[in-house]
Structure 1
Amino acid sequence: MNREIVPGINWIYEAGPDRTAKFELAERQPDWYEPGREAYIPQCAYLVEGDDETLLFDTLSPASTDQILETVDDLVGDRGLDYLVVSHPDVPHAGNTHAILEEYPDATLVAPAYGNDHELYHLDDARKVADGDSIDLGGRVVEFHEATFLDAPVSIWMTERETETLFPVDWMGFPHLDEEALLFVDELDGEFDVSRLVEFHGRVLFWYQYVDVAKTTAEIDTLVETFDPEIIAPAHGLVIRENAPEYMELMKDVTRAIDEQGRIGTLG
């Protein structure tokens, strides 16, 4: 499944884990959840096409190998794939790396320069990128950034300059209902419920339970000022194409909500 976000940037979607049972059995179901509906935390990859070259950011999981290969082939056609960027070595992000490189042997594998365990993940021969590095695809330039909120030391974020799209990988993920797959956030019914973000960051990114609220809030202010994106394309959520900085601001509420709910294993 895929959808064009803007001309030249396509969103490739995998449903990811089915979370229905969790919400059905909860003592108190979240306001955004509708009983009887399936709920998922998606896994997303993004294809960026320039005038000269093409780039795939992340790979989906091995459960979707055929899907990612067919979708990329449909999108790039005879142009082929020039770059495969792995944001970090985790199954939903890098699980199809070898399959994609077998299909496109001339593609350049791109990996984060951060961390020192690249050889453990077959990334030692990849082109390493760090904060401020960029790739010109012809008419589109992608730039790489040190990941602020991450779940692996070998990790990178990305932006696309022309459209001011931010790809924050695991940060800003959230679950969605079955019929909401591949909808933009502005197409959802009703007001966006911040508890969706709390659900993902408080449980899937479990380390979020231990962050310093004041420091995290200040860092979010810095991110908003630094990126001020028009579009946010997360790895585990729906694409945000309107009022993107306001959704980044919501992450302050997420941090406070997780802190108020109690942080297991912490003192004070």
Structure 2
Amino acid sequence: MNREIAPGIHWIYEAGSDRTEQFELAERKPDWYESGREAYVPQCAYLVEGDNETLLFDTLSPASTDQILDAIDELVGTRGLDYLVVSHPDVPHAGNTYAILEEHSETTLVAPAYGNDHELYKLDESLQVAEGDSIDLGNRVAEFHEATFLDAPVSVWMTEQKTETLFPVDWMGFPHLDEESLLFVDELDGTFDASRLVEFHGRVLFWYQYVDVEKTNAEIDNLIEKFDPEIIAPAHGLVIRENASEYMELMKDVTQTIDNQGRIGTLG
């Protein structure tokens, strides 16, 4: 499934991991979860179309090979895919890299310049990008940034300048209910609260339980000042297209809550 989140930027969505049993068995169910409903942590890739060239950010997992290949064909057609950016060498993000490159031999592989394991992940011959590097697609520019919050040393974030979209990869991920698939956060029923973000970061980005709250939240303030995005497009959550910086502010509550409750204790 895919959806245009802004002119020329397409969200390619896969339901990802089923977390229903986890929530059903929890002693204390989160307010947003409804018993009997399926819940997922999604996997997301994003295709950016410029006037001259096209770029795909992340690849979904090998369970979705046909889906990602079909989505690319549908979105770029005979134009072809010019760049494939792998945010980091983790299965949900890089699992279809070589399947895509086999289908699109013209594509340039782009990888983070950070870390020193590129040869291990067969990224040593890629175009490697770091803070301040960019790719001009023609009327759209993809700019790359050092990943502030990450789960692998070989990682990079991206922004698209024209739409002021931030792609923070694993940071700001969260689960959703079955009927919320491919919805924007502003289309959800009810109020979105930090408990969804707590659930993802407390369990998936497990190092959150060890961080210094004051320093971490000061870094979030720095990110808000640096990016102040119009849109946030996470790899494991729904797209945020309204009041994006306010959701970044919610991440400070996440830091404090995980520090208070601990990783495993977030659901009781």
Q: Could you tell me the TM-score, scaled by structure 1's length?
A: 0.98
* Alignment check: 8 A CA contact 1:228 1:245 kept: yes
- Residue in structure 1 matched with residue 67 of structure 2 by the alignment: 67
SS of residue matched to 1:17: strand
RMSD over equivalenced CA pairs, Å? 0.7
- Residue in structure 2 matched with residue 229 of structure 1 by the alignment: 229
Structure 2 residues not aligned, in runs of 5+: none
Report the AA paired with residue 260 of structure 1: N
For residues 261 and 159 of structure 1, what CA distance do their matches in structure 2 show?
A: 33
For residues 183 and 137 of structure 1, what CA distance do their matches in structure 2 show?
A: 27
- Residue in structure 2 matched with residue 218 of structure 1 by the alignment: 218
For residues 28 and 204 of structure 2, what CA distance do their matches in structure 1 show?
A: 19
SS of residue matched to 1:229: coil
SS of residue matched to 1:120: coil
- Residue in structure 2 matched with residue 161 of structure 1 by the alignment: 161
Q: How does 1:105-120 map to 2 (within 5 A)?
A: 105-120=105-120
- Residue in structure 2 matched with residue 77 of structure 1 by the alignment: 77
- Residue in structure 1 matched with residue 39 of structure 2 by the alignment: 39
Shift of 1:28: 1.1
**1:158-209 alpha-carbon deviations (Å, 9 max, x no partner):** 0000000000000000000000000000000010021000000000111111
Q: How does 1:193-212 map to 2 (within 5 A)?
A: 193-212=193-212
* Alignment check: 8 A CA contact 1:56 1:83 kept: yes
Shift of 1:262: 3.3
For residues 173 and 211 of structure 2, what CA distance do their matches in structure 1 show?
A: 17
- Residue in structure 1 matched with residue 177 of structure 2 by the alignment: 177
- Residue in structure 1 matched with residue 50 of structure 2 by the alignment: 50
- Residue in structure 1 matched with residue 146 of structure 2 by the alignment: 146
Report the AA paired with residue 159 of structure 2: T
For residues 128 and 193 of structure 2, what CA distance do their matches in structure 1 show?
A: 38
- Residue in structure 2 matched with residue 87 of structure 1 by the alignment: 87
- Residue in structure 2 matched with residue 257 of structure 1 by the alignment: 257
* Alignment check: 8 A CA contact 1:210 1:263 kept: no
Report the AA paired with residue 115 of structure 2: G
Q: How many residues of Structure 1 are paired with residues of Structure 2 in the alignment?
A: 264
For residues 173 and 263 of structure 2, what CA distance do their matches in structure 1 show?
A: 20
- Residue in structure 1 matched with residue 7 of structure 2 by the alignment: 7
Shift of 1:263: 6.2
SS of residue matched to 2:162: coil
Q: Could you tell me the TM-score, scaled by structure 2's length?
A: 0.98
Q: Work out the percentage of aligned pairs sharing the same amino acid.
A: 84
- Residue in structure 2 matched with residue 122 of structure 1 by the alignment: 122
Report the AA paired with residue 3 of structure 1: R
Report the AA paired with residue 118 of structure 2: H
* Alignment check: 8 A CA contact 1:3 1:12 kept: yes
For residues 103 and 118 of structure 1, what CA distance do their matches in structure 2 show?
A: 23
Superposition misfits of 4+ residues, deviation over 3 angstroms: none
For residues 65 and 209 of structure 1, what CA distance do their matches in structure 2 show?
A: 34
**1:105-127 alpha-carbon deviations (Å, 9 max, x no partner):** 11000000000000010100000
Report the AA paired with residue 158 of structure 1: M
